[in-house]
Amino acid sequence: MLSQTTVTAIRALVYIAGERGAHPVPPTEVADALAGSPAYLGKIHTQLVKAGLLRAHRGVKGGVTLDRAASSITLLEIVEACQGRILGDYCEPQDDREAVCAFHRAMQEVQEGLLET
C-alpha cells in the first residue's frame, strides 16, 4: 500500500515536473496547487532531496527543482524515499527455490513481483 506521504510526493513531483521553467518551485506553490499544507510539503520535499530526486535552492526565490530528468525517476525510488526500502524479512534470495521452505519461496516471489512492478 502507498502511504498518504508517498501519494502526495508523487503528486508533488508530477506538479514540479510540469513546471517547464528552470526556476525553483517553492513548497507553498506546490501546497496551493495540491490543496495541502506547506509544512507537510516541505517535509516531503526534504525526503525527496535526501533521496536525490529533488534539488533544493535556498533564498528568497528558493524552492525545489527536479535533480534529474523526470523520465529517469522511478516509482520505486519515490516509494522508497517516503516509506523506506522495500525489504522482506525472509531468507536470502536463493537460485534454488527448493532449498527454502514454502513460505519463504512464496514471500520471495511476492518480493520479486513487487519490486518488478
Residues 78 and 100 in one domain: no
Q: Given the C-alpha cell 527448493, which residue does it identify?
A: 98
The pLDDT value recorded for residue 78 is 92
Read off the pLDDT of each residue in 20-45 and give the average, rounded to a whole number.
88
The pLDDT value recorded for residue 21 is 63
What CATH number does the domain containing 13 carry?
Answer: 1.10.10.10
Residues 69 and 39 in one domain: yes
Residues 76 and 93 in one domain: no
**pLDDT, greater one: 23 or 57:** 57
Consecutive H or E run containing 65: strand 63-66
Residues 100 and 63 in one domain: no
Say whether pTM exceeds 0.85: no
The pLDDT value recorded for residue 91 is 58
Give pLDDT tens digits for 70-86.
Answer: 899 988 899 889 988 76
The CA distance from 100 to 108, in Å, is 10
Residues 62 and 110 in one domain: no
How many domains is the chain partitioned into structurally?
Answer: 2
The pLDDT value recorded for residue 116 is 76
Residues 34 and 47 in one domain: yes
Domain with 23 in it: 4-83
Residues 95 and 116 in one domain: yes
Residue 6 makes CB contacts below 8 A (sequence gap 6+) with 78, 79, 82, 83
